[in-house]
Structure 1
């Protein structure tokens, strides 16, 4: 089983990323379940805007698209900015929109029988909004989202430390992240054993 984590931080490598750190907790738990995990830091790739799978020469998205099609689990991880997901996360969502018109060999939407989850971080409120917005988009694109298929860390109202600056709240975020990973794997296995059929014509 394969998983792709798309880290939608605004920070280019090798700058430390709070979002990457929490997503790493989920990735480590997925690996304990025997899942092969690949992390993509989207901001490093200069993904052009658009709603097509291939926007032409130099577009890195087709390679990401191939990884998504060849994986069973997707995690979109985003920081929180002004209560919303990052502009990079929105770019990823917009590029995934092209998948709405893609079908598998049995005529199902291409992302049927794949599962997805969300990781959110930020030193401000807004994680629930980030999770709900990204979850809705992924579900619209055909992914199945299990109950408690997310985790987050937010510092709370007002300015303050970031995830990497403090241990406060980590225990809850990490245990929730481990549960998220377990639920994603269990749901992926269930769909593999009993796939969603093609929609009625």
Structure 2
């Protein structure tokens, strides 16, 4: 495509995002107010969203006494306390979820695994359209560390999030790792993390793709409630799945 035939670059956001809500869940192992390098990267994305009017909620999972398990309220399963019951509405009401994690031995933190399990615990709930509760919401991920594993951790985490119903936009992850092995972390003086063009570009792309996707989903009323409503399936609706796979339109080549 020649330069003259390329569409003009947008010079301003294509929509208003002021009615969107986002929740950032930092799965660092450090309780507040300890310095979290993952929070440092998440704050860059948070600032971008807030600059366009998005209501942003941010929390560290480790600050809360969240029980382990895959049920909505683990107090009903032997746990004395479960802060997830209070955190859940903050996640449920957000149009956008961004999870952050440090890397340990090339993997996500234990707190992120807890988060995924507790999100999964709620995945049988339904929204106003009768779909699974995360339908119509979008999610992304940010990673920091001193060892390889950014893409590996994003692969498994974003798979889990889409499996329970989140819509994952293009380029929905970004991260920063220093030199492999002991060395400076993202916010350490001289690390180069906050100035890294690759990380800053990917963080920007992730943030905008989340905004665009959330805007489109909200404007469209979410994912169409056809072919994906559990109760209707239970009542016998099959949305064409019962069609005879051997059926051929007139003139079809039977060998195709």
| Alignment TM-score, normalising by the size of structure 1 | 0.95
Match of 1:51 in 2: 70
Q: What is the CA–CA distance in structure 2 between the aligned matches of 1:28 and 1:151, rounded to whole Å? A: 16
- Which residue among 186, 190, 196 is the counterpart of 1:163? 186
5+ residue gaps, structure 1:
none
Q: CA deviation at 1:54?
A: 1.3
Q: CA deviation at 1:63?
A: 1.8
Match of 2:238 in 1: none
Is 1:33 matched up with 2:59?
Answer: no
Structure number with greater CO (CA < 8 Å, separation at least 6) is: 1
Alignment CA distance shift 1:199-1:78 (3 Å): farther
- Which residue among 13, 27, 33 is the counterpart of 1:8? 27
Match of 2:205 in 1: 179
Write out the 4+ residue segments of structure 1 that deviate beyond 6 Å after TM superposition: none
Q: What is the CA–CA distance in structure 2 between the aligned matches of 1:174 and 1:148, rounded to whole Å? A: 13
CA-to-partner distance for each residue in 1:23-56, whole Å, 9 max, x for gaps? 1111111112211111110011121101011112
Q: CA RMSD in A?
A: 1.3
Match of 2:153 in 1: 130
Q: Which has the larger radius of gyration?
A: 2
CA-to-partner distance for each residue in 1:88-142, whole Å, 9 max, x for gaps? 0001111111122111121111000100000000011111111111101111110
Residues 135 and 166 in structure 2, CA contact (< 8 A), matched pair in contact too: yes
Structure having the larger proportion of residues in helix: 1
Q: What is the CA–CA distance in structure 1 between the aligned matches of 2:185 and 2:219, rounded to whole Å? A: 41
Q: CA deviation at 1:199?
A: 4.7
Residues 99 and 141 in structure 1, CA contact (< 8 A), matched pair in contact too: no
Q: What is the CA–CA distance in structure 1 between the aligned matches of 2:131 and 2:226, rounded to whole Å? A: 7
Q: What is the CA–CA distance in structure 1 between the aligned matches of 2:30 and 2:130, rounded to whole Å? A: 39
Equivalenced residue count is 201
| Alignment TM-score, normalising by the size of structure 2 | 0.75
Q: What is the CA–CA distance in structure 1 between the aligned matches of 2:151 and 2:179, rounded to whole Å? A: 12
5+ residue gaps, structure 2:
1-19, 228-232, 234-256
Match of 2:223 in 1: 196
Match of 2:246 in 1: none
Partner secondary structure for residue 39 of structure 1: strand
Match of 2:91 in 1: 68
